[in-house]
Amino acid sequence: MSKEMILMLHPTFGVLAMIAAVWVFVEALNASDANIGRLRNASVLSAILIWLAYIVGGYWYVIYYGGDKALIKAGPWPFAHGFFMETKEHLFLMLLLLGTFLPIAAYGDVVKKKVTRKLVLWTSALVVLMGLSMEGAGAFINMGVKVALLAKQL
């Protein structure tokens, strides 16, 4: 598999994890004995997808990112690495833990305890918001490489 394909898998797993977290949020709004199974399955799915995004993205970051990093830092958008990549790579670790916590909360008493349901709602919402910030930061990093390559051609 090419390194570009490996890189594309990272945001793909990330978006799918966010969709699964939205699914958890919607199920939690009306949690009952009828949908608790779906809610828990979606929370596990979200966690698995976040871990896949972490492993694939982490592999690419550790093995291949050095070249892009040098390009970005020498280009017109050095902040694409200095702020966005640095922040993203460390915020992702929190997202990984939060995504792991989501099924733990979902396997609590979501149906009978209102606070557990509220916790699942907040956790899934945070997973979505943090996931969106990861996608946004990724777009800046991508653009940082692009403008650096364009600047080299001029």
CB 72 within 8 A of CB 138: no
Binding mask 8-27 for other proteins (x = CB under 8 A): --------------------
Residue 83 contacts other proteins per CB under 8 A: yes
CB 11 within 8 A of CB 56: no
Residue 123 contacts other proteins per CB under 8 A: yes
Stretch that binds other proteins, among 3-11, 35-43, 83-91, 138-146 (CB under 8 A): 83-91
Q: Which residue has the tokens 């606070």?
A: 115
Task: Name the nearest CA neighbour of 85 among 2, 142, 126, 13.
Answer: 142
Stretch that binds other proteins, among 30-38, 42-50, 67-75, 82-90 (CB under 8 A): 82-90
Residue 126 contacts other proteins per CB under 8 A: yes
Nearer Cβ to other proteins, position 44 or 126? 126
What is the distance between the alpha carbons of residues 138 and 114, in angstroms, rounded to a whole number?
A: 36
Residue 124 contacts other proteins per CB under 8 A: no
Residues 86-105 that bind other proteins (CB under 8 A): 86-87, 89-91, 93-94, 96-98, 100-101, 104-105
Q: How far is the CB of 153 from other proteins (least distance, A)?
A: 29
Binding site for other proteins (CB under 8 A): 54, 58, 61-62, 82-83, 86-87, 89-91, 93-94, 96-98, 100-101, 104-105, 107-109, 113-116, 118-119, 122-123, 126, 130
